[in-house]
Structure 1
Amino acid sequence: MQTQKTALIVYAHQSPVSFNAAARDVAVQALTKQGYKVLVSDLYAMKFKASATEEDIKGDLKNPEHFIYNNEMMVAWQDGRLSDDIAEEQQKLEQAELVIFQFPLYWFSVPAIIKGWIDRVLTQGFAFTLQKMYDNGVFKDKKAILSFTTGGMKSMFTPDGVNGDINVLLWPLQNGVLRFCGFQVLAPQIFWCPAHTPPEGRSAMLEAWSERLNGVFAEKPLSFAPTEYFDLTFQGGFSLRPEVKEKYASEPYGITTAQHLGKPLPPDNQTTAKQS
């Protein structure tokens, strides 16, 4: 008998009548209909604390003279001394096979309250170690999706648009946060400019999201440079191996949006999964 799958939606919008709220509700309905247990962390409603401080740790600090957040959090996680709000989010994340981040794009990134969730919940030890990252990451059996709204229209986020290539914008979040922790990163769900879209257009966006979620577990993740491409030693500088550079020397594009090797960026590297 197959056990019930769990999805976690990390949601950040202040208004219950927003398009983001509607996208969250569509995801809850679509996944529940498929038999998922769906957990929602409504960060604003929870008054989730965005800033990483000593309050995140119960009991004595390891080094009170020089507070180093990451070090203290790792020890507190090992000892079961993290604050209740962090421990609760970590428990949800442990259960989830699929994590959806639902938010409006703020300043080319996530709202501060989601950045606070990332900073505080994804502690060293729990979400990553220096041995367990990227392809070998702690969450390699989990999938993650960034689902977000933009203020600008799609053409503004193209390589020749005023805001620049959306693929470049997404790299720090998708590679630097999600894949770093091992997640299989699925293509982002981008709702372009819903505030200036007529009602029928907004409805069509939500229907497409619902339809996508029906087959979400069969989706291929985005492609990243395999960890084995790199010499993961201090001596090797954690750099691409010479034979990999040689292999890509004659290729028309770089490997990814960021490991571009001085070549044109592979098109839509952070927005579309490669079809084999």
Structure 2
Amino acid sequence: MKRFSFLFAGILLSISSLLHAEPVQQVLRVSAIPDEAPTELLRKFKPLGDYLEKKLGMKVVFTPVTDYAASVEGLINHKLDLVWFGGFTFVQANERSGGKVIPIVQREEDQQFRSVFITTDKSINTLADLKGKNFTFGSESSTSGHLMPRSYLLAAKINPDVDMKRIAFSGAHDATVAAVAGGKVDAGVLNISVWEKLVAEGKVDPKVVRVFYTTPGYFDYNWSVRSDMNPVLRKKLTDAFLELNPNNPQDKAILDLQRTVKFIPTRAENYTAIEAAARNAGLLK
């Protein structure tokens, strides 16, 4: 009888544990800030998504978003699990969530990321020459296409809202190059990674559209998750990125598409300078 009682109690305990156990996540929902065309973002992510599926043992789905704000809202409202943020977008997400967004990895290059100012106008050779000109940033929420370039302009005593003839926002880095090359604006700014890719692919002639100023380095992009992600899954996800090896041909193909040689760990403290720049520019309140 005692043996039966113990057995029955054990069964009840097991049933209770199953009822209260945290459900196993079946799908990892991924997105990225739309700093390039949706087709390009999908092309870049496909091999990485396939790799993560094998490493995590779960389905990985990439869903493009319409704008930067949608990437922030998607993560903090539990519609997305993993998002490729720019530094400023991460700061916005962390602010909106009350500090509940965690950057897990960044590319090695994102420790010293830079922006390039470009033009076809022969009279523009310094930042000061932008006064009275038509100029385009990328997206308003872009770190490398707006926030940090704006902060360097302000440091050079150039207020874009006052000193330039007209300011536009192209919405994406490749769109900025198209606007400058097409003569829609006198100059623009974009991240150096996209610029180098477009030059390498022959999609822009650097003799016609030229770089006249390159910013100092700053922390930028990262892959972020919510703090309530299952710690086991978060570790497996982080390890998957860190294990990508450039000496492995398949891994190198993934890294090349991500425009990096390797991923490294990162932390929220790396983005305090971006937060300060955003507050100083009145873009984060």
TM > 0.5 between the two?
no
* Higher percent of residues as strand: 2
> RCO (CA 8 Å, sep 6+): is it higher in 1 or 2?
2
Please say which structure displays the higher CA radius of gyration.
2
* Higher percent of residues as helix: 2
| TM-score, normalisation: structure 1 | 0.31
| TM-score, normalisation: structure 2 | 0.30
